[in-house]
Amino acid sequence: MAFGRKKKDKTEEPASALDGATSDELFIVDQVRKVQVDRLRQTYDDYFKNPEYTKISKYFFEQIYGAGDKASRDAAFNKIYEKLSAAVNPKRITRVTQLKQLNELTDELDLRVAREFIKSHKRHALTLEDFEACYRALNNKEERELQLQLLMETTRFFHRLAHVPLLGFVIKPTQFAARALGVEYIMEFFMEGYRSFKSVKNAEPFMQAIEDRERAYLNRLLP
């Protein structure tokens, strides 16, 4: 936290980048996300319109990264992750750790964009042009490439996982455990993701399109 610093014990997880953000910064972060969701909606319009990929497109581009109640979802996810990391060998939850890393990196990058926009003293709502100007000014290509790498590795893994035979029956009991922990919200979110990934037998064309288009976008803004 930005205020009232205290010594952390060795097992305490580092705070999210957004924990130290001001209300003004969080307001702009929300705009940053809305602008990106709109861009993604246009960039992948062909997949939204393709019946085979409509469900996964809506989940991937609108629900995962949408403005929604992301803070509550993140808190629930972190609570589950703490329980897992305390009980399971870290090697067995590598992809879950990568997902956490991706989420934290995305929050940090969005906050940096918001702060860069605030520095410009503009009074209008953030536009795509503003977002791209801030993206360029920050010039953090290495971190953007890592973000894309984590995105693709975790997404491909969870799509393969969704097609493991009988997985739906195996994970259903975890909803009761989630309810006991008070994090049933995140399990409902994960189950919706499971159903979305399960609905597409061959997601590789979709995944490859994301990798190619997002890398092209990154390289256009940061040559």
User: Which one-letter DSSP state was computed for residue 60?
Assistant: I
75 neighbors 130 (Cβ within 8 angstroms): no
Termini Cα distance of the chain: 35
Does a structural domain hold residue 14? no
Q: Please say if the pLDDT value at position 169 is more than 60.
A: no
What is the mean pLDDT of the segment spanning 164-178? 59
Question: How far is 204 from 209, CA to CA, in rounded Å?
Answer: 8
Does a structural domain hold residue 106? yes
Does a structural domain hold residue 85? yes
Question: How far is 131 from 150, CA to CA, in rounded Å?
Answer: 22
pLDDT digits (tens, 9 = 90+) for 51-103: 999 999 998 888 777 655 677 777 777 777 776 677 667 766 787 788 889 98
Does a structural domain hold residue 96? yes
What's the domain count of the chain? 1
Confidence band, pLDDT 50/70/90 cuts, at residue 141:
very high
Could you tell me the residue range of the domain that residue 183 belongs to? 19-221
pLDDT digits (tens, 9 = 90+) for 17-55: 888 899 999 999 999 999 999 999 999 999 999 999 999
- Answering whether pTM is above 0.85, one says no
